[in-house]
Chain A
Amino acid sequence: MFTKVLIANRGEIAVRILRACRELGIKTVAVYSTADRQALHVRYATEAYLLGPAPSSESYLKGDKIIEIALKSGAGAIHPGYGFLAENAAFAQEVEDAGLEFIGPSPFAISSMGDKAIARKIMLEAGVPVVPGTKGTDRFSDEELLKLAPEIGFPLLIKATAGGGGKGMREVKSIEEMPSALNSARGEAMSAFGEDNVYLEKLLLGARHIEIQILADKFGNVIHLNERECSLQRRHQKLLEEAPSPAMTEELRERMGEVAVQAAKAVGYESAGTIECLVDKDKNFYFLEMNTRLQVEHPITELVTGVDIVMEQIRIARGRQLSLAQEDIKINGAAIECRINAEDPHNNFMPSTGHISHAVLPTGPGVRIDTGVYSGTEITPYYDSMISKLIVWGENRAQAILRMRRALAEYRVVGVRTNIPFHQTMMDSHRFLGGRYDTRFVEEEFDMEEISEGKETHLDIAAIIATLVKHEQTERSAHVVRRNARDTSNWKWLSRWERLSK
């Protein structure tokens, strides 16, 4: 049984995993790029080793180097976190071949779920409903897809089988748009994944993105930890998640949970994983994909179920049986997570880089922050823009929202722009308060200015502050000039200095 874990990641998730290891008394090995020498995960770990230069292709994606460090440092297991190598079946295999434990599912489960077409086929065979679309794992030619498209019906989505993060995905409204959309989807997929195979899926309108967290051990025990609501997205990036989902019913939860467990069993899954589904207005649900890793938004499930998912992952990897049975899992209260990104919501969510000169994090009852940054951190363009996750718990959804408003108002980050104002506006939006939103809400209907309209404004206060700031600047620059004028002349200084050095 391993007693030292290498964490092949950076940022908040590396810190999150370190914390679980510390609580279990397990030693930790951090790896880092030159840009992250001063990062928290490097300072918190028991050991730390340099991987290479800042770009992830030369550091956090260097699987062979990471395995070499694990062997050299005597780590018995590797936790990949999310992103980077987390869903790379070849890496998981190499870890196993090196005689190390991969804290995650088997390479087989990763690769079968990684290919979207294979995943759909397995799910259909296991009796899991999938979004209507092309069937089977054949490579379809453009001609075949053009023939199949009208049968599926418009609007539809062209998706890359190797896809993820919205890359290689195109929305098509009519047959006329198909040829050029196929072309660009294949092109994008090729450059992103080195593979241009695509399939078609019906575009469900007004659907919500709801996912089920599952846990499975090495003995075939599988449980689910209920759902997370993740419909609030922009460019297929989740921005805010909540648990439980305001759209959920007890009956639907039970059905989705059962199906998720079935899906996990179909691939002999172990460790933590997530079954992502689309749920339409009539509460029909469809399998979308399985994420074979720890999710960014796992804390909201932890807060409402009381289960430490990362600790469970480590226990499972150590060969323990699940300590919980399905009937032990209850939902207590409600949790919301806001992803705090270094992006300017007032300027089309433009990423913002720079030096965080000052940061005050919200604390107090029911507030949790998972972060890897601190005052003094440099936000570089090399990695993604998420700087922290603000998570709150409340006895019910209404209390959680009030608490999130309070926590957002306390949060101070100086040096980079953040999307905190976006979340603050969201907390004021009637649609969010009413829980009436779908996956298109943020991009198509949410308007920060419109929601702020009619709200109390502080134009006069802004005028006073702006004027005082400008006034101070003018005074300061005038002061600098005056002081220079009063200074002893440089000629006098020179003569004194010459006399001193005689």
Chain B
Amino acid sequence: MEYITTIDGKEFQVEIIDKEHVSVNGKIVEVDFESVRSQPIFSLIVDGESYEAYVYEGEDNLEVLIKGRLYNSQVEDERERRLRAAAGSSKAISGTFYLKAPMPGLVVSVLVEEGQEVKEGDVLLILESMKMQNELKSPQDGVVGRIQVSGGDSVEQRQKMLSVE
């Protein structure tokens, strides 16, 4: 099975040949890959060298933590890549961004109004959790859509709070 794997913007052609062999950009290496006690900790031995990693699943990416460094990765097979190519450049047309609570907490204040124009990096809302106030910012330019929370509301993790269109 062949994959195109992007790590921090750099592309790798990775082919899974069999259980013990993987080819990276055409170079075949011997691998021994285990998930530790079915936890998201993985142990990999590549040509005798031992590595350990945490793998966190994002919405459409995987984050790999090795030796204190976080690598952002995207893995696609041929079919997915073709689909994405057919859909045109993916990010630009993604459109509406939903601001979801990254953790349960208390909305301290909503700093924007419906219909307001915002720029990438503008603070949209302040969420308090674990006695800390956290600023949640807009990842894109746009116009604030429906606001579903107001100051003082408790929110659950991943609850939709507002949108930027």
A residues near B143, Cβ cutoff 8 Å: none
CB <8 Å contact, A383 and B130 = yes
Interface residues on A, range: 35 or more
| C-alpha spacing A95/B39, complex, angstroms | 47
| C-alpha spacing A455/B157, complex, angstroms | 36
A residues near B65, Cβ cutoff 8 Å: 421
- Given the known A-B contacts A353-B130, A385-B132, are A471 and B3 also in contact in the complex, defined by CB atoms under 8 Å? yes
Name the contact of B55 in the complex, choosing from A350, A424, A455, A469 (C-beta under 8 A).
A469
Instruction: Check if A460 is an interface residue, CB within 8 A of chain B.
Output: yes
Interface string of A336-367 (1 = CB under 8 A from B): 00000010001010111100011000000000
Instruction: Check if A494 is an interface residue, CB within 8 A of chain B.
Output: no
| C-alpha spacing A352/B73, complex, angstroms | 21
Nearest-CB distance from A53 to chain B (Å)?
Answer: 13
| C-alpha spacing A365/B55, complex, angstroms | 30
| C-alpha spacing A384/B24, complex, angstroms | 44
A residues near B71, Cβ cutoff 8 Å: 458-459, 462, 466
Nearest residue, chain B, Cβ from A352? B103
Instruction: Check if A180 is an interface residue, CB within 8 A of chain B.
Output: no
Instruction: Check if B91 is an interface residue, CB within 8 A of chain A.
Output: no
Nearest residue, chain A, Cβ from B68? A424
- Given the known A-B contacts A459-B71, A467-B22, are A357 and B130 also in contact in the complex, defined by CB atoms under 8 Å? no
* B41-49, B81-89, B144-152: which lies at the interface: B41-49
Instruction: Check if A484 is an interface residue, CB within 8 A of chain B.
Output: no
| C-alpha spacing A350/B104, complex, angstroms | 12
Instruction: Check if A464 is an interface residue, CB within 8 A of chain B.
Output: yes
Name the contact of A353 in the complex, choosing from B35, B55, B157 (C-beta under 8 A).
B157
CB <8 Å contact, A465 and B55 = yes
- Given the known A-B contacts A381-B130, A459-B71, A464-B14, are A350 and B102 also in contact in the complex, defined by CB atoms under 8 Å? yes
The interface on chain B, measured as residues whose beta carbon lies within 8 A of the other chain's beta carbons, has a size of 50
Instruction: Check if A461 is an interface residue, CB within 8 A of chain B.
Output: yes
CB <8 Å contact, B130 and A420 = no
| C-alpha spacing A417/B103, complex, angstroms | 12
CB <8 Å contact, B62 and A346 = no
- Given the known A-B contacts A381-B103, A381-B105, A458-B67, are A465 and B130 also in contact in the complex, defined by CB atoms under 8 Å? no
Instruction: Check if B159 is an interface residue, CB within 8 A of chain A.
Output: no
CB <8 Å contact, A353 and B64 = no
CB <8 Å contact, A420 and B14 = no
| C-alpha spacing A381/B155, complex, angstroms | 11
Instruction: Check if A452 is an interface residue, CB within 8 A of chain B.
Output: yes
| C-alpha spacing A458/B157, complex, angstroms | 32
| C-alpha spacing A415/B19, complex, angstroms | 28
Report the number of A-B residue pairs with Cβ-Cβ less than 8 Å: 137
| C-alpha spacing A460/B62, complex, angstroms | 15
Instruction: Check if B66 is an interface residue, CB within 8 A of chain A.
Output: yes
Instruction: Check if A468 is an interface residue, CB within 8 A of chain B.
Output: yes
Nearest-CB distance from A372 to chain B (Å)?
Answer: 15
Interface string of B1-44 (1 = CB under 8 A from A): 10101011010101010000010100001010101010111101
| C-alpha spacing A247/B78, complex, angstroms | 58
CB <8 Å contact, A420 and B41 = no
| C-alpha spacing A459/B71, complex, angstroms | 8
Instruction: Check if A470 is an interface residue, CB within 8 A of chain B.
Output: yes
Instruction: Check if A409 is an interface residue, CB within 8 A of chain B.
Output: yes
CB <8 Å contact, B131 and A383 = yes
B residues near A480, Cβ cutoff 8 Å: none
A residues near B22, Cβ cutoff 8 Å: 464, 467-468
Nearest-CB distance from B111 to chain A (Å)?
Answer: 15
Instruction: Check if A412 is an interface residue, CB within 8 A of chain B.
Output: yes
CB <8 Å contact, A464 and B46 = yes
Name the contact of B39 in the complex, choosing from A352, A357, A458 (C-beta under 8 A).
A357
| C-alpha spacing A342/B51, complex, angstroms | 24
| C-alpha spacing A469/B14, complex, angstroms | 12
Instruction: Check if B54 is an interface residue, CB within 8 A of chain A.
Output: yes
The 8 nearest A-B residue pairs measured at CB? A424-B68, A462-B71, A466-B73, A470-B75, A463-B12, A351-B130, A467-B14, A385-B130
- Interchain residue pairs with CB less than 8 A apart (21): A353-B103, A353-B104, A380-B104, A381-B103, A382-B130, A384-B132, A421-B68, A457-B69, A458-B51, A459-B10, A459-B71, A461-B53, A463-B5, A463-B24, A463-B73, A464-B31, A465-B66, A467-B75, A468-B44, A471-B1, A474-B1
| 11 further contact pairs, Cβ within 8 A, besides A457-B69, A461-B46 | A351-B103, A358-B41, A381-B130, A409-B68, A414-B41, A461-B66, A466-B73, A467-B14, A468-B31, A469-B55, A470-B3
